Chains A and B, each alone.
Chain A
């Protein structure tokens, strides 16, 4: 177990270095620098004169070749310093801390909703396997699963934010809140909740469709096993067989899926947050690429990769916890 963990951690560390190195190289080779992209786009007259630009480049270390910059960045990270955002003049850690709440609000709610609905739906589908109601449900879930989120988001925006605007069903088009910062807590919470409905719906339906199909597929595998026949033969009721004997045995792949959804939970969805201009992590990443904000790009890349790796490791470790038959060699 110890050597296995050590090997995984070492491999993970190497992977992290490789990913951040590649992304750093890519980021530094994107056309434009944070200085030119940001100022030049908003107002050509505010373009820096060459001397100023050179001075600023020196301050930010942009005059050095990028491998040197990478080593410096890596050194700072090892000391726990992710650097300061070039375009927002704030430490990257502060930015991430600010954005993680809104992302979790949407992705966390969507995650809980999806799983509380997916488990009963998956169980229902496998209990009624082959009957018309199951066929209809499965087809519906399949259609939902193939429905692109950004298309769904636009459809929902047209219905609820444009067509139904002004009625009781109208919902805000985008943003997180329209209220001034001094509004009361209750009014604020309600307003944020109204803004969060569409993003949450968009994020929920995809995982709901995926998760329940996943559960059903695993259940179909499980109900064919011999122990299910044994359970039926000893007189266990159909519900008990389904939940206690079949479903419990599908927990292993389920746990893997939980581990793998960790990065999405904190990283958020770039597209959904971009459509609804939701101030979360995904949007921060998108904006930082646009603004060539190297420290933020790197901070987020590091975080996302770390989460992906941690999710995979977690999935593998949970595997052993849930199923004593599995052991890591």
Chain B
């Protein structure tokens, strides 16, 4: 594997990418977002990252990822989600490492929940302040905590839906481009039909048939409608590459079609396909936030950036409800677009020659 020629190509593309400050900055920003997404419960939350309770060590913050990951002992001991007081009362020996910001994305922090701290302000009084960095919403829920936890959703949507779209697109495009004939005819027609559907019409119609749409449904729908561009590109690349000498050589050596497609053609077709995938991540994030903004997102307790903006619509005088999530969406989309553009310039030989 280490001797394949494609490695040299990728290393060279990487070297070219790194020379572009904007692309590097964008890449760093995406990395930062990924870190925030993974570490969200440790950045903002009301559950300890790690705590020692009745002689054992627990990580209750995992409960933010999924309910079932929260250790059952805290439910048995009737903590009801408020840890600081309960930990001290029920086990004086206990200690805990708390998240950086003691705020919850799903509810307002009450008075003295953290010793000596006031309750979160609500109903338009929650200007950004020392305790609520990005202010609080109508009900007193901290916007910073909501946004930190919303990062997970935003990135997941981008990666999962585009992963799905890339899989479908590459499969359809590769089959059509490699086999040609009626397979190509069929796959091209299917691609054309899906391409002709106005995307929002189909997405809205799909989401509306679900009684309780979750974020996973949105991802599936975005993936199932966003693969056409990738399929066309893959088909073009495969059409070009299947005539090449190395494919002929592989075929002469007795490789089957599946092996040729996966091991020989696909690695060589991957670079141009990666570009629309990166742009696709940006547009998937944009689509999900727009859907949540229109009220077609996952139901209330989730903290999608788009639903934050939707809340802001009825409280426009609370500017912080618009400015922070809006800027986050904008920067994320911009970063993915910049990475996509950087990739395009780093991997496309035609654009390279253009530089004087």
Footprint of B on A, CB under 8 Å?
A: 11-12, 14-15, 18-19, 22-23, 26-27, 29-31, 130, 142-143, 145-148, 150-151, 154-155, 157-158, 161-162, 173, 220, 224, 263, 267, 270-271, 274-275, 285-286, 289, 297, 300-301, 304-305, 308-309, 312
Contact of B316 among A143, A158, A220, A309 (CB under 8 A): A158
**B75 interfacial by beta-carbon distance below 8 Å:** no
With contacts A146-B334, A147-B330, A154-B322 taken as known, whether A289 is within 8 angstroms of B208 at the C-beta atoms is yes
Determine whether the beta carbon of A151 is less than 8 Å from that of B309.
yes
With contacts A30-B208, A271-B293 taken as known, whether A146 is within 8 angstroms of B282 at the C-beta atoms is yes
Determine whether the beta carbon of A220 is less than 8 Å from that of B354.
yes
Determine whether the beta carbon of B196 is less than 8 Å from that of A145.
no
With contacts A23-B201, A275-B313, A305-B196 taken as known, whether A150 is within 8 angstroms of B209 at the C-beta atoms is no
Determine whether the beta carbon of B316 is less than 8 Å from that of A305.
no
Contact of B193 among A15, A158, A300 (CB under 8 A): A15
Most chain A CB within 10 A, of B197, B327, B333, B354, is at B197
Determine whether the beta carbon of B196 is less than 8 Å from that of A154.
no
A30 to B290, CA, bound (A): 21
With contacts A15-B192, A263-B198, A308-B196 taken as known, whether A26 is within 8 angstroms of B209 at the C-beta atoms is yes
Footprint of A on B, CB under 8 Å?
A: 189, 192-193, 196-198, 200-202, 204-206, 208-209, 211, 282, 286, 289-290, 293-294, 309, 312-313, 316-317, 319, 322-323, 326-327, 329-330, 333-334, 337-338, 354, 356
CB distance from A208 to the nearest CB of B (A): 16
A31 to B209, CA, bound (A): 6
CB distance from A199 to the nearest CB of B (A): 15
Query: Which chain B residues border A27 with CB–CB below 8 Å?
Result: 205, 208
21 A-B residue pairs with Cβ-Cβ distance under 8 Å, sorted by A, are: A11-B189, A22-B202, A27-B205, A30-B208, A31-B211, A148-B286, A148-B326, A148-B330, A150-B309, A151-B309, A151-B322, A155-B323, A155-B326, A158-B323, A267-B198, A271-B294, A286-B204, A300-B201, A304-B201, A308-B196, A308-B197
Interface class of chain A by DSSP: helix
With contacts A18-B193, A270-B200 taken as known, whether A154 is within 8 angstroms of B208 at the C-beta atoms is no
Contact of B330 among A26, A151, A267, A300 (CB under 8 A): A151
Determine whether the beta carbon of A304 is less than 8 Å from that of B330.
no
Query: Which chain A residues border B290 with CB–CB below 8 Å?
Result: 148, 150, 271
Query: Which chain B residues border A142 with CB–CB below 8 Å?
Result: 334, 337-338
CB distance from B76 to the nearest CB of A (A): 37
Determine whether the beta carbon of B197 is less than 8 Å from that of A19.
yes
